[in-house]
Amino acid sequence: MKRIGNIYEKITELNNIEAAIYKASKGKGGRKSVEKILDSPTFYAMQIQKALKEKTFKPSPYIEMKIRDGSNKKERTIYKPMFYPDQVVHWSIMLQLEPLLMRGMYDLNCASIKGRGIMRGMRFVKKILVEDRKYTKYCLKLDIKKFYPSIDKEVLKRKFRKILKDRDTLELLDLIIDSGVDGLPIGNYTSQWFANFYLQDLDHYIKEQLHIKYYIRYMDDMVLFSNNKKELRKAKYAIDDFLKAEKLVIKENWQLFKTESRPLDFLGYRFYRGYTTLRRCNFLRIKRRAKKMSKKKQITYHDAAAMLSYSGWLKHCNSHNYQNKYIKPYVNYKLCKEVVRNESKKNGKHNKTE
């Protein structure tokens, strides 16, 4: 890939920084710290522009938070950056860098990319399990141990230097990369893009060197299919060696199995040939949320948005009986949509006044 220059000028353009302010503020308009910036976006964009051009921008200290994430409630440390100037700077960078990163992005890398996501991966897995039984006879499922904290900063910097020749942009990226203690901080908007970019070479290696016909990645979770069990075992060891050079390690709980013998647990779903269900823990979580909502006098925006999101998950799997028994008696989807619509109108009016 030809190295690209003159990115920094575009990052520091006033229009780009103002656009970044509005992008970064989406869903945060009610926060006082954000409202202050939205009251005078041009003024604050000019301050960021000045700091970037004069090289006085320094990442602010992160606000560290512990959360329990995912269906297994795994504890994660989230590093929340300041909205101003950090989140705005992150968005300013990505508004210009995203098209460049997308040029080399594997089309079935489905995490944190607009227009892809879980549903794209889910539809693809369902399709190949039904339409190509031969080459989905065996499945290799693996993920990377402590992926974000394990990302090697120097390796990532070298990867950026292979596609960029703009020294100012590279120095700014170095500042962001070095702002965390270990690896990439979970919480930065840039981190999800940088993490995907870090594994871009692995994607090409699996498809172009190992010649795996069906391969899907959701951040560091990967599934590979083949008609040959030995081929997948060899692929696993080859991926091991490749990742060692990237300073990463595959988790010990990797699996290689016959797809007829058990379902594939991936992307929050359980995939069988011809039908798909949600993970049991996800079913239980939706069921509990529905019952709690039914006991409230008024549906909150948070509840309504969550339930509409769950409905999207449910409609893409075989859940008709489940919904009739556990969801529809307790949840009014039309009312949920109305609550979300009214909240969106409020935010729209707020943005129009800026």
The pLDDT tens digits for 72-112 are: 556 778 889 999 999 999 999 999 999 999 998 999 999 98
Q: 10 Å Cβ neighbour count for 337? A: 14
Of 241, 240, 219, 247, residue with least CA distance to 152? 247
Q: 10 Å Cβ neighbour count for 66? A: 8
Q: 10 Å Cβ neighbour count for 193? A: 21
**Helices 153-163 & 189-198 angle (0-180, nearest 10):** 80
pTM over 0.85? The answer is: yes
Cα–Cα distance between 197 and 96 in angstroms, integer? 15
**DSSP secondary structure string, 177-208?**
HTTSSSSS-BTBHHHHHHHHHHTHHHHHIIII
- How high is the pLDDT of residue 354? 44
Backbone angles phi, psi at 12, to 5 degrees: -90, 5
- Alpha carbon 119 to chain centroid distance? 13
Query: Prior bond to 85 cis, omega within 30?
Result: yes
DSSP assigned state of 109: B
- How high is the pLDDT of residue 349? 47
- How high is the pLDDT of residue 208? 97
Of 332, 290, 327, 286, residue with least CA distance to 310? 286
- Alpha carbon 223 to chain centroid distance? 17
- How high is the pLDDT of residue 114? 83
The pLDDT tens digits for 125-182 are: 999 999 999 999 999 999 999 999 999 999 999 999 999 999 999 999 999 999 988 9
Cα–Cα distance between 328 and 334 in angstroms, integer? 11
Backbone angles phi, psi at 242, to 5 degrees: -60, -45
Full strand arrangement of the beta sheet holding 221-226: 214-218, 221-226, 138-143, 255-258
Beta carbons of 225 and 142 less than 8 angstroms apart:
no
Residue environment code for 96-117, b if the CB has 16+ CB neighbours within 10 A, otherwise e:
bbeeebeeebbebbbbebeebe
Residue 37: both structure tokens together:
């910036």
- How high is the pLDDT of residue 212? 97
- How high is the pLDDT of residue 353? 44
User: What residues in the chain have per-residue pLDDT under 70?
Assistant: 1, 69-74, 347-354
